[in-house]
Amino acid sequence: MVKYGLDYTRCRWILPLLLGIGVIFGIIALAGRGWLESQTLPYVQRASLWQNCRRPDQGGEWRCESLMGYAWGRAAAATYLVGFLLLVICFALAIIAFAIDTLRFNFIRGIGGLLFVAAVFSIMGLVIYPVKFSSEIDMTGINMFSWAYGFGWTTAIMEICLGFFFCCLPNYEDQILGNVKPTYFYSSP
């Protein structure tokens, strides 16, 4: 990407593409039922960001209760949802920014700042959930935070990393736009 610059058509869309992948991971985390699952037999508990489900024995029927009845459940869901909405806004802004023929580098730096804010909200939700869940809800057996919770953390890490990319990109404006004369390290005898 640095060698050819952002005017190189295939490299221009890498950052918005990565943001789109982050949005997909966020959707998986929001909709997934695997935030917490029983690790060993009997598999009697599973939870998502929205509800906690239990069954009395291995073959029994799942009984679910909403986590929105708890203040911490609403706080975890709200903060993670705000972080996700900010990520979606950044994705839309990145598509607009990279679709314009002349890149607006201050606009790109603003997207990076907004990504850091999104990461803060996402991490707040991802920290509130396990701390309060494990202290306020009785758990049976050995439980683990599972795949959907991992997608939530992957989204938060992508927000941080992409925030750095978007904030640092304007520092190389001249190189990206091709305004710098190439430097050759070979000198003729």
Per-position DSSP letters for 130-182, written without gaps between them? HHHHHHHS---S-EEE-HHHHHHHHHHHHHHHHHHHHHHGGGGHHHHHT-SPP
Side chain identity at 90, as an amino acid letter? C
- pLDDT of res. 14: 85
Residues 154-176: pLDDT tens digits? 999 999 999 998 888 766 665 55
- Whole-number pLDDT of residue 1: 47
pLDDT for 107 equals: 81
Helix or strand holding residue 68 (H, E): none
pLDDT at 113: 93
Query: Which domains, from first to last, does the chain contain?
Result: 10-169 (1.20.140.150)
* Residue 103 banded pLDDT, cuts 50, 70, 90: low
Of 135, 169, 158, 186, the C-alpha closest to 83 is 158
What was the pLDDT predicted at 108?
A: 84
Cβ contacts of residue 78 below 8 Å, gap of 6+?
Answer: 125
Closest among 17, 23, 24, 28 to 165, alpha carbons compared: 17
| Residues 61, 63, 58, 126, Cα dihedral to 10° | 140
Percentage of the chain lying above the pLDDT 70 cut: 80
Q: What is the pLDDT of residues 34-73, one digit of tens each?
A: 888 877 777 778 888 999 888 877 777 888 899 999 999 9
Residues 86 and 23: their CA atoms lie apart, in Å, by 10
pLDDT of residue 176: 59
Query: Which has more confidence, 18 or 177?
Result: 18
Q: Do residues 166 and 109 touch, judged by C-beta distance below 8 A?
A: yes
- For the cut 50, the answer to whether the pLDDT of residue 145 exceeds it is yes
